[in-house]
Amino acid sequence: MPKTVIHWFRRDLRLTDNTALHSAKKDADQVVPVYVLSDWKNSHGWTGPNRQQFLCGNLESLAKNIAAIGSRLIIRCGKADVELERLVHETQAGAVYFNRDYDPCGRAMEAKIAALCTRLGIECNGFDDSVMHAPETVLTGSGQPYRVYTPYSKNWLNLDKTAPLPRVTSLGAEAEEKVMSLPPPTLAHWDLPAPTAQILASGERAARDRMKHFIDGGILKGYSANRNTPAGQTTSLLSQDLRYGLIGIRDLYHRCAQIEKGSTYIKELAWREFYFAILWFYPEVFEHEFNPDWRGLPWPGTDAAFQRWSTGTTGFPIVDAGMRQLLQTGLMHNRLRMITAMFLTKDLHCDWRMGEAFFMQQLVDGENASNNGGWQWSAGTGADAAPYFRVQNPWLQSARFDPAGEFIKKWVPELKDVPAPLLHEPPKPGLPLAKGYPLPMVDHHTERDRCLAIFAKHKAERS
């Protein structure tokens, strides 16, 4: 094996339970760790300051952790294949190690890296790390990808689960001083404004603390019963940590399985990987409806309606609370993601792609596969989606999941003095729930009927 190798950090910003990093250290005397910053301004425009700020903190933490074990994180900016080729020449590395990504952009870059390594005559070693089971390994009996979650999850749950790997405690000698590195970035690197949200603490240590609190603090045990209640911490708050690989999926799975194997939370991890598989086998979902029957479906919603939704001023308390939570924290409770997404698509008739992009601009945990899957599920167009005629009533949703109005009043302070029962029903005509709070922008029942008519007309025209 080569004496010196490169580990290309991507969405695996940790030293514990890191498959490629562990293999690189096992195979070589010296591992040169590198992270290549992309030029945000030239990306697809789905990355905003909230997620970039979290990334900045994660890279700063990773650099400190690597320095603590006697090495140095090399940070470059540009195209990964170009920067990695330069680094190979500078370090005389004989191999590149990395953990695979599953979205189309990540796969395309991996193909370039593989071609680069072939041209340079060095090894290219990619590993599955951010999922328990790679998309190609969870298939039907006939070898086809699943299109429905339930049979996928049954297969996924029955597969053997790899144990977590130990923390890497040495990477060998630090790269020579002549090997150039940028400092950990700030938002000024991308000419971005300060984040609008209060971002969670970044870095591997903070993520592991959150994991411990979720598992040992009783939240996991109550997850099945409480996960749809948005008030208080009823969920893991680990989605951004999985997004950036601050914790290993194997580590998380096995810690949870020790308490309850096959728990509701573990099934949610399977949902995450189901959407990874959908994106892997059907990358066209980025542009089109997963269900071809709904391609070309009209979305007559207006920009003005989208603006009110995106600013949390719809006059529907539960919708506005969810959107304001997103704007102020960069996160949103999963039940609220469903409610707000279905409201935009089914009540306001706006294209799900508009909401998908807005969420990706705001979410700290923005994950292409899960975000796309969730939006297409809510719109009724995706894999294993809610049928188009299932249109959630936001008034009933808030009565069911926030009966005391605790969540609503936290995020919509204009309503703090409104009796809870009034938060869950349309106000009387012309009488807003509170001073300064808008009347409902639409009548839910009217818009539900309109939605069903749009879908039915499209279905009839296609048949």
Crossing angle for the helix pair 80-91 and 104-120, to the nearest 10 degrees: 30
Of the residues 260, 268, 406, 447, only one is catalytic, namely 268
Q: What's the residue count for the chain? A: 463
Of the residues 40, 156, 280, 375, only one is catalytic, namely 375
Of the residues 125, 228, 334, 393, only one is catalytic, namely 334
The helix (run of H) or strand (run of E) holding residue 125 is strand 123-127
- Active-site residue flag, 334: yes
DSSP 159-225: S--PPPPPPP----SPPPTTS--PPPP-GGGGTPPPPSS-PPPPSHHHHHHHHHHHHHTSTTTTHHH
Of the residues 190, 309, 352, 411, only one is catalytic, namely 352
Of the residues 271, 280, 309, 377, only one is catalytic, namely 271
Instruction: Report which of 344, 362, 364, 360 is spatially closest to residue 352, judged by C-alpha positions.
Output: 344
- Active-site residue flag, 395: no
Cβ atoms 236, 214 nearer than 8 A: yes
Structure tokens at 132: 């328990």
Instruction: Report which of 381, 354, 369 is spatially closest to residue 104, judged by C-alpha positions.
Output: 369
Block residue for tokens 């996160």: 331
Block residue for tokens 């409610």: 339
Other C-beta atoms lying within 10 Å of the C-beta of residue 236: 22
Q: Which amino acid is at 363?
A: L
Q: Give 19's Cβ-side CA count (13 Å radius).
A: 20
Instruction: Report which of 19, 7, 6, 12 is spatially closest to residue 204, judged by C-alpha positions.
Output: 12
Q: Which amino acid is at 323?
A: M
Cβ atoms 211, 14 nearer than 8 A: no
- Active-site residue flag, 352: yes
Angle at alpha carbon of residue 422, lines to 417 and 423, rounded to 5°: 80
Instruction: Report which of 179, 167, 175 is spatially closest to residue 71, judged by C-alpha positions.
Output: 175
- Active-site residue flag, 377: no
Of the residues 155, 174, 228, 299, only one is catalytic, namely 299
- Active-site residue flag, 375: yes
- Active-site residue flag, 299: yes
Cβ atoms 322, 339 nearer than 8 A: yes
What residues are annotated to the active site? 268, 271, 299, 334, 352, 375
